[in-house]
Amino acid sequence: MKVYILTDLEGPAMITTWAQTRDVTPEEKMRSEYFLTGEVNACVDGILDFDPGAEVIVWDGHGGGGIDEKLFHPKAKLIAGRGLRAPYALDESFDALMFVGQHARMGDRGNLCHTYSSQTVEYYKINDIELGEFGCRALMAGTIGVPTVLVTGDDVTLEEARELVPNIVGAVVKWALGRELAMSRSHEASCALIREKAREACEKIGEIAPYFFPGPYTFEARMQEGCSVQGYLRPGAEVIDERTVRITEEDICKLPI
């Protein structure tokens, strides 16, 4: 079995504020990396509980990096660094995609919720469906036949995931009480839950269909007040207004997701 784990730094238990996810102080960032790396390692353990010979590839998907390489699981492989673009080394050889440390899309309920950029993006839509990072990348995986079988994060993230993949396995490690406020399980309890749910997700591979709808794919990005669409402009892009742009592609991986 071959499994791809996609990570982010806003979703683990005990991480509740923006300062914990940014390079504000080395000590704060190291503490956050400890929490994420522990949860990722627990997911790897759950996969290996199901299949001791599984190949597990982990992509550190947090912009500034979120994995502590010194603590990373010895039986998994890590993709880290800048410049990786869709489909992020994910291909048809993988049996499943799992999200660890995921956050909800931009809104008013999820802890540290945002869509790709917490400072510039109001929403992303693909074919008029509002999607966050989970949705865009689950759809990307679905276009190559890879099912998304596990998501870990807060309760709002799991609700969002189940809108798209109703029978996805979820591990809720914290409950959102505000954008920078949450109630968390302990790190130890979160890791134990993730390990259990990762094994369960492996057992359900084959029962969980990939999230998919056919192209062409029309991507719409709307920026927050005062932010420009300049970074999204390319040949063929349609500027709707000063804050909104649309791009249509047959290949979803050519979109800025």
User: Could you give the CA distance from residue 137 to residue 86 in angstroms, rounded to a whole number?
Assistant: 9
Average pLDDT, stretch 87-104?
Answer: 98
| pLDDT confidence of residue 148 | 98
| pLDDT confidence of residue 25 | 77
Average pLDDT, stretch 28-34?
Answer: 92
**Does the pLDDT of residue 80 top 80, yes or no?**
yes
Residue 149 and residue 208 in contact, taking contact as beta carbons nearer than 8 Å: yes
Strands 55-60 and 77-79: parallel
Residue 118: count other Cβ atoms within 10 Å of its Cβ.
Answer: 17
Residue 185 and residue 173 in contact, taking contact as beta carbons nearer than 8 Å: yes
Tokens 């029978």 correspond to 167
DSSP 8-state symbol, 172: E
Mean of the per-residue pLDDT values of the chain: 96
Q: DSSP assignment of 192-245, as one string? A: HHHHHHHHHHHHTTTTSPPP---S-EEEEEEEPTT--SGGG--TT-EEEETTEE
User: Could you give the CA distance from residue 55 to residue 76 in angstroms, rounded to a whole number?
Assistant: 7
Closest CA to 105 of 66, 132, 140: 132
CATH architecture type of domain 2-116+128-212: 3-Layer(aba) Sandwich (3.40)
Tokens 């719409």 correspond to 220
CA 196, chain centre distance (Å)? 19
Full-model pTM? 0.96
Any idea where the domains of the chain sit in the sequence? Answer: 2-116+128-212
Residue 143 and residue 217 in contact, taking contact as beta carbons nearer than 8 Å: no
Residue 167: count other Cβ atoms within 10 Å of its Cβ.
Answer: 10
pLDDT of 195-211, one tens digit each? 999 999 999 999 999 99
User: Could you give the CA distance from residue 38 to residue 194 in angstroms, rounded to a whole number?
Assistant: 10
- The structure tokens listed for 43 are 């997911």
- The structure tokens listed for 2 are 């071959």
